[in-house]
Amino acid sequence: MSKHVSIDIRVPVENDNPAIRRIESLCIRCGQCKEVCKKEISVGHHYDLLKTEDTAICIHCGQCVNVCPTGALVERQDWMEVADVIKSGKKKVVAITSPSVRVGLGEEFGMEAGSYVEKQMVAALRSVGVNYVFDTTFAADLTIMEEASELIDRIQNKKPLPQFTSCCPAWIKFVETYYPQLLPNISSSKSPISMFAPTIKTWFAKKEGIAPEDIYIVAITPCTAKKFEITREEFHDAANYHHTQGYRDYDKVVTTKELANWLRAENLDLTSVGESDYDSLMPRGSGAGVIFGNTGGVMEAAVRSAYYFLTNEQPGDDLLKLEAIRGLAGVREASVTIADIPVRVAVVHGTDNARKFIAHMEETKTHYDFVEVMTCPGGCIGGGGQPKHIGEDMQ
């Protein structure tokens, strides 16, 4: 028998993975990583090492990290490099923080799950030496504006529908791997963090009089897949803008759990670090941007924005409270009317649910206009970099 066939695909992670590390000595062969990769993410049983020449396919969502009871799977610990850069004093370090981090971090310091610790988190980042701290909600608004404008353009100009959201990098790799025929349907908008970094290394750099190559940007996210996203070939727009080479839009991504590790290493406790406000790049983000972290949030925000673009009026309660797409069912659907245009939307979380949704959509030829897909159970709030809830059912 070929050596390929005898390999047990216990863990779909190689140690050159840009997002996740495997510590073989801690593995107790419980197989929970394999189960979640198969059942929720629908990756683990959809490749064959014979065909992929021993390359394990990983979309970097980190759900295996979330269920590993021993710490044999962990996100890459990139915070140490950020700490070294700060200590060197050679760069201006900018941190941007995603919405889900401020409701996840407190749990790592013994607070109740879901505690809102925005000001303590900002104070902690200043205490470890970060020079500027910005709220990613600002960039979430940029993404929503782009997604909503694109949706209107696709509907009005008969371009490919449905438009699938593009802000989840694990979902994008899932589509690239298994459904390349759907790539024309993926929104052309970059994710919030991938819009934010070039804004900082161009507009903000000029405003503050800092050379862009002297700015070091770390995104603090709930997401292990963002570590992969920032390594993608496409993301060096700031350098392109400045007609130069040698730096990328992002320098590092650090997860919620990593930030907690970093603070503990610096002997900082979130409960006693004090409070601080974000730096202001531009006026604060909207309520639409804040709901990005929950499954359904992108959809809801984009539908509201599309309504405003088309009517120049604020949406009514029916759009502000899209009850049918709230909640945690794996697939939720709704029909809404935006300026007399009927729009069919769906919200999917978990890529196994996405696989089933696509099969159903193709088999029944059901028309959808806009579909949000997030890889992690519950959306980014359940990301692979968030505090672990071993044994809890995330559904």
Distances (CA, A) of 111 to 13, 106, 116, 341: 32, 5, 10, 46
- List the one residue out of 79, 47, 73 whose CA is nearest residue 61: 73
Spell out the alpha helix ranges (H) of 47-117: 63-67, 79-88
Which amino acid type is present at position 90?
K
Minimal distance in Å, beta carbon 171 to ligand SF4? 6
Site track 30-69 with ligand SF4 (rule: CB under 6 A), x = hit: -------------------------------x--------
189 scored as a contact of ligand SF4 (CB under 6 A): no
172 scored as a contact of ligand SF4 (CB under 6 A): no
* Distance between CA atoms of residues 68 and 74, nearest Å: 8
218 scored as a contact of ligand SF4 (CB under 6 A): no
Applying the rule CB under 6 A, the residues between 150 and 169 that interact with ligand SF4 are: 168
Question: What does the DSSP assignment read for 309-323?
Answer: HHHSS---HHHHT-G
CB 67 within 8 A of CB 11: no
Minimal distance in Å, beta carbon 394 to ligand SF4? 11
Is 150 in the active site? Answer: yes
Q: Which two tokens stand for residue 63?
A: 């759900």
Is 167 in the active site? Answer: yes
Burial of 156 (C-beta count, 10 Å sphere; 0-12/13-18/19+):
exposed
Q: Which residues pair with 335 in a beta bridge?
A: 344
Catalytic residue of the set 147, 258, 300, 372: 147
Nearest to ligand SF4 of 141, 268 (CB atom): 141
222 scored as a contact of ligand SF4 (CB under 6 A): yes
Catalytic residue of the set 34, 201, 226, 257: 226
Is 194 in the active site? Answer: no
* Distance between CA atoms of residues 309 and 36, nearest Å: 40
CB 160 within 8 A of CB 363: no
* Distance between CA atoms of residues 224 and 76, nearest Å: 8
Catalytic residue of the set 58, 61, 64, 380: 380
Is 226 in the active site? Answer: yes
Q: Which of 37, 121, 170, 254 binds ligand SF4 (CB under 6 A)?
A: 170
**Quick one: which segment of 75-83, 193-201, 207-215, 376-384 binds ligand SF4 (CB under 6 A)?**
376-384
Q: Which residue is nearest to ligand SF4 (CB)?
A: 383
Q: Which residues pair with 96 in a beta bridge?
A: 134, 219
380 scored as a contact of ligand SF4 (CB under 6 A): yes
Q: Which of 20, 82, 218, 225 binds ligand SF4 (CB under 6 A)?
A: 225
Residues that bind ligand SF4 (CB under 6 A): 61, 168, 170, 222-223, 225, 374-376, 379-380, 383
Would you name the residues annotated as active-site residues?
147, 150, 167, 187, 226, 229, 234, 380
